[in-house]
Amino acid sequence: MTDVLDDVRTHLRAHFAKAGIGGEPDAASVTFLGTESIDILRFGTGGDDVVHYVSLGCSRYPMTDPADIAADPVRGPRAEVMVALRGPSPAGLARSVAVLAAAPVVEGLVLTADALVELGTPLWEAAPFTAFLLGPSEIDDVTLPAPYDPVAVLSAIPITPTEAAWVRLKGAEAMREAWRTDGVDVLDPKRPASAPS
């Protein structure tokens, strides 16, 4: 039996080493009642002041409907999530990333690109953002030995309640297009909310 989390950690370290971010990442471990721990790995800047916060633990099991009593314990989609932000680490962000990563186990969510996951509270101390918009990231999928499905590493962009409403109304790609049109830097933790029309 393969150790999925070891494979994911090795893959992440190799990816960031290629980007000039070597060494062991900082790690914080978060545990929720009745669940196994989720680690948040913090990969420091590679010269562009961007810090990457990547979950490790979501991919421990395939994401399935918790009501499915015949769920396959091996096959099925697996994912981890990554938040990229400029500047110092915001207080409380690691917990919010862990909440997102635990959602498949706690709430039965299947994390996929274009999914909107609302936490309903600020993602970090005094943040205007209360939700994550998921999408593909620059990290390749982690290939696991058969019969395991690969692990997708999804980008998780913090968004405001107004932006979340826009995503529900128009879709994820329309939100991304509005950001491009408005010149919004989604890596800026102090960015203003986009107000697409």
Decide if 178 is inside a domain: yes
pLDDT band at 70 (very low <50, low <70, confident <90, very high): low
Q: Check residue 195 and give its pLDDT.
A: 67
What lies within 8 Å, CB to CB, of 34 at 6+ separation is none
Distance CA 115, CA 175 (A): 12
Token look-up 């019969």 returns: 147
**Tens digits of per-residue pLDDT, 166-178?**
999 999 999 999 9
> Which of 26-40, 125-139, 180-194 has the highest mean predicted lDDT (pLDDT)?
125-139
Sequence letter at residue 134: L
pLDDT band at 33 (very low <50, low <70, confident <90, very high): confident
First-to-last CA distance in the chain? 51
Decide if 196 is inside a domain: no
**Tens digits of per-residue pLDDT, 80-119?**
999 999 999 999 999 999 999 999 988 989 999 999 999 9
159/32: higher pLDDT: 159
Strands (DSSP E) contained in 14-162 are: 26-30, 38-43, 50-56, 78-86, 116-118, 131-136, 151-159
Provide the number of structural domains found in the chain. Answer: 1
Radius of gyration of the chain (CA): 16
Decide if 63 is inside a domain: yes
Starting at the edge strand found earlier in the chain, the sheet holding 131-136 runs 26-30, 38-43, 50-56, 78-86, 151-159, 131-136, 116-118
The residue segments making up the domain with residue 114 are 4-182
Decide if 189 is inside a domain: no
Q: Check residue 46 and give its pLDDT.
A: 72
pLDDT band at 121 (very low <50, low <70, confident <90, very high): very high
Decide if 119 is inside a domain: yes
Decide if 188 is inside a domain: no
Decide if 129 is inside a domain: yes
Distance CA 9, CA 134 (A): 20
| pTM for this model (two decimals) | 0.94
